[in-house]
Amino acid sequence: MTSGPVSLTLCAPLDGVVIPLGKVPDPVFAAGMMGEGLAIQPLSDTLLAPCDGAVMTLHAACHAITLRTDVGVDVLIHIGIETVALNGDGFTLHVREGQRVTIGTPLITFALDRVAQAARSLATPIIVMDGASRTIVVCPVGRVRAGDALMTIEAAHPQEARRSDDRPNDRLSRTVTIPMRHGIHARPAARISAALRPFTARVTFHNGARAADGRSTVALLALGASFADVVRIEAEGPDAAGALDALCDLIGGGMGETELRDAAPHASSDSIEAESPPVAELRPGVLRGVRASPGLAVGVAHRLEQDDRAIEEKGGSVAEEQAFLADALSKTRERISSLAAKGSDTQCAILTAHLAMLDDPALLDSARRLISAGFSAGYAWHKGLAEQAAMLAELDDPRARERAADLSDLDRQVRRELARETSRELSLDGDTILIADDLLPSQLIELDLSRVVGFCSERGGPTSHVAILAAGMGLPALVAMGRPVLEVANGTPLILDADAGCLEIDPPAARVAEVTNAIAERRCNRAIALRDAQIPCITADGRRIEIFANLGSVADAEQAARHGAEGAGLVRTEFLFLDRQCAPDQEEQRAVYQEMAEALNGRPIIARLLDIGGDKPVAYLAATHEDNPMLGVRGIRLALQHPELLECQLRAMAAVRPAGQLRIMIPMVSAVDEIRQVRAVLKRIVDEAGMPEAPQLGIMIETPAAAATAAVLAAEADFLSIGTNDLTQYVLAIDRGNASLAGRVDPLHPAVLRMIGLTCEGAARYGRPVGVCGGAAGDPDAAPLLIGLGVTELSMVPAVIPEMKARVRGMAYAAARTLAEAALLCADAEEVRAVVRAFERDVRA
């Protein structure tokens, strides 16, 4: 049987003019998202079969047809652009699904003039859908007649190309549990939409009573799918199985958004260099808000007026308004792409999500439908986005509601292009604190940070894109302040203390001087801390405290070295395993670990064994449904169920040179037997390699059971490291992901501090060092308590290391121990923090 490639010539299905696919006025076709091919501007009204084959699909609107050729490749022919809105008006079918056709068979007749008037364009793409084939265009751009040779397809032999499960029109469904901590928000929605580009199947997501087109970013946002929701995905079409496989792999892998468990909370340089000056007691003239980005600022108010001009409802001709909208969208897309290319990683991620929303078919269809009804491009765009924003605003998930601001941002930008306005620069004098009803991401990116020192908004949320951007820019910000903040007059002196959640209006001169001095002190402290970042960290009374970094990439390791990290207290190896189709092999892992070791130039590295399961599943490891995944098969429990994965990772870690620099840490340990099993595998690997000794093997303390039996576990482990994020939620029995209880998940709760004290006492019996690699390690209030309880190593995000080293150098271990003893007698975390602040004031005095 012949098994080599075969060729097939496609003939022109119409009289017309051939144009490159990139010239088609639709980004999906022009960018090749559907596949390779070309397009014809038709001069005849009957679509003919370009080759022999079978009719696979006929769109309900009669404007598109897919043929399965005899070489097993699918060819899509789409008559005109945006002709689906005609709902079959002007189209006549001559074939049915499943029918066999020969070259030249009439497929569809359409009313050329009728369609030309209603469609955005008559350009008719002819797309080779099978990505495994190679398309060779043999017809030059120009005039062709129906039946002329158009292109040649080289493909695998039909017996090889056709899969056994190929059916004319599969209809399949699967369920998937959402592993992303914040559910399907803007960035995951954009990635889901992008993942469907190679497929023709119609895909619908179902979450309870809500349904969403899988290709529509905004519809996916309105689905309201949150963490742990079970979503049903339906796919219909010849490649339904492939589409479902791709989606389940993508979503099941978490899209890189489940690695949040041990991340330290963001802290700007201003938030930890020195204690904030005491906040004035609440009085008339002091407004409260929710902290979006920490910091302290003094400035004058400037009200940011939003563009609320009237929108002209009626437009010109349909063709003119469609062209206006297309031009505005194109220019907005170019501007956002340019900003993304030169912005920070955070800005790039948010702007990329905006680009996906800009190309959302649901938004585009809504706007074009309104234009066809006689409305202007500006009104149609605004109306369509307002309807989608209203849907998001009704959802229970606060993060989904915050995405409505992104839609408002795109509305503003596109309408600004339609009005041919350039960006209006704000006329600002001196240090300005902006006041707005809700600042938009594009407005924030456009700000002159040499004049703006902070902002406050009536609306917004702490997890909005504006909040994320502000934190990345080090710009103090408060949101959700309510209507009173909009009553602040331009030019009013203000103190913005985002750390304390307060805006002080027209404060006394003495208060302004106090805060101004505090800001100056913070800046001076930061400069000194950066200067001394590479000096070892020793307390004022001579106790050595190691300040390490938490790492999730080689770039993190390089940043850590620059900021004076004395080692890596936590390498989250999950970044190598998540968001991919198969696990990395031993050499890929070893190479990355080796790069990190070299970036830290001999300083110790503690690499955590793969910590997945619970809130971090991966698609290539089969997992059964668990009612309580955070209490189920996760961390070392899952690794021991997959010994081949565990052994591969241990071999990669043991191969890092110089020997001994990399230490291995076991996650989620709760029993001695787990340590013994891992050590046995590691010993066998070391013996087989002829190594003189094995790398150090430590454990993470993340459960009350581990903390209570630390003395037993320390007998088997070389070192202990406390993951305060998980330990806190397990001790307090509060889900860290529950927004309504977020304020109560505080690692400084006396119960959590007692667990940390027990761990240090147990480790001390065997002389084992104890580190902290959870969020508390980077909390300036927590540092003296942890040191006083017996912790000898703190590991945190690289950016805060210089200030933390300076802070620890300024405290005495003996005083920290007294502080810790007092904290254990407190009633709650709030009281503990009050005790810490009093301690800090005494130290400075």
Over residues 639-675, the pLDDT tens digits come to 788 889 899 999 999 999 999 999 999 998 988 999 9
**Tokens 């910590």 sit on residue:** 611
Query: What is residue 218's predicted lDDT score, i.e. its pLDDT?
Result: 57
Q: Is the pLDDT of residue 627 over 60?
A: no
What pLDDT is recorded for position 278? 45
Q: What is the pLDDT of residue 422?
A: 58
- What's the rounded Cα separation, in Å, for the pair 726 and 143? 68
Which residues face 143 on adjacent strands? Answer: 17
Chain mean pLDDT for the chain:
80
- Regarding pTM above 0.75, the answer is no
Nearest CA to 725 out of 596, 615, 632 is that of: 615
Per CATH, the number for 318-418 is 1.10.274.10
Residue 144, pLDDT above cutoff 50: yes
Which residue spans of the chain are classified as CATH 1.10.274.10?
Answer: 318-418
- Percent above pLDDT 90 for the chain: 29
Closest by CA to 705, choosing from 677, 671, 663, is 671
Query: Considering the domain 537-623+631-844, what is its CATH architecture?
Result: Alpha-Beta Barrel (3.20)
CA distance 549 to 557: 8
Nearest in space to 568 (alpha carbons), one of 533, 603, 530, 529: 603
Q: Please give the pLDDT value at position 264.
A: 32
Domain with CATH 3.50.30.10 in the chain: 269-304+426-506
Q: What is the pLDDT of residue 331?
A: 86
Give ranges for CATH 3.30.1340.10 in the chain.
Answer: 170-256
| Predicted confidence (pLDDT) per residue in 440-462, tens digit | 777 777 777 778 899 998 877 76
Q: Tell me, what DSSP letter sits at residue 543?
A: -
Q: Where in the chain is the domain with CATH 3.20.20.60?
A: 537-623+631-844
Per-residue pLDDT of 45-65, as tens digits, reads 899 999 999 887 777 778 888
Q: Percent of the chain scored above 70 by pLDDT?
A: 80
Is 267's pLDDT higher than 50?
Answer: no
More confident residue, 747 or 421: 747
Residue 280: per-residue pLDDT: 42
6-161: CATH architecture: Distorted Sandwich (2.70)
Q: Is the pLDDT of residue 1 over 60?
A: no
Distance from C-alpha of 198 to C-alpha of 836, rounded to nearest angstrom:
57
| Range from 128-132, 364-368, 559-563, 596-600 carrying the lowest mean pLDDT | 128-132
Tell me: pLDDT of 525 over 90.
no
Choose between 686 and 177: higher pLDDT. 686
Q: Is the pLDDT of residue 140 over 60?
A: no
147-201: per-residue pLDDT in tens?
888 888 776 544 443 343 444 567 888 888 888 766 786 567 767 887 888 888 8
CATH architecture type of domain 269-304+426-506 = 3-Layer(bba) Sandwich (3.50)
Per-residue pLDDT, 61? 78
Residue 744 above 60 pLDDT? yes
CA distance 118 to 295: 55
Q: Reduced to 3 states, what is the DSSP secondary structure of residue 556?
A: helix
Local confidence band at 736 (pLDDT 50, 70, 90 cut-offs): low
pLDDT digits (tens, 9 = 90+) for 385-441: 888 777 776 655 555 555 677 787 788 888 888 877 655 555 677 789 999 887 777
More confident residue, 227 or 284: 227
Mind listing the pLDDT tens digit for each residue in 310-345? 678 888 888 888 888 888 888 888 888 777 766 665
Output the DSSP codes for 779-796.
Answer: -TTHHHHHHHHT--EEEE
pLDDT band (50, 70, 90) for residue 480: confident
* Over residues 122-145, mean pLDDT: 68
pLDDT at residue 482 tops 50: yes
CB contact burial 598-626 (16+ within 10 A = b; e otherwise): bbbeebbbbbbbbbbbbbbbbbebebeee
Rounded mean pLDDT, 261-271:
33
What mean pLDDT is predicted for residues 107-125? 82
- pLDDT 10s digits, 60-108: 778 888 888 877 777 889 898 878 777 788 899 999 888 899 999 999 9
What is the end-to-end Cα distance of the chain in Å, rounded? 91
Domain 170-256 belongs to what architecture? Answer: 2-Layer Sandwich (3.30)
Res 311: pLDDT: 79
Q: Which residues are catalytic?
A: 465, 773
Note the pLDDT of residue 273. Answer: 36
- 204-244 pLDDT per residue, tens: 999 888 888 888 765 776 677 887 788 999 999 888 888 89
pLDDT of residue 607: 93
What is the predicted pLDDT for the residue at 275?
A: 42
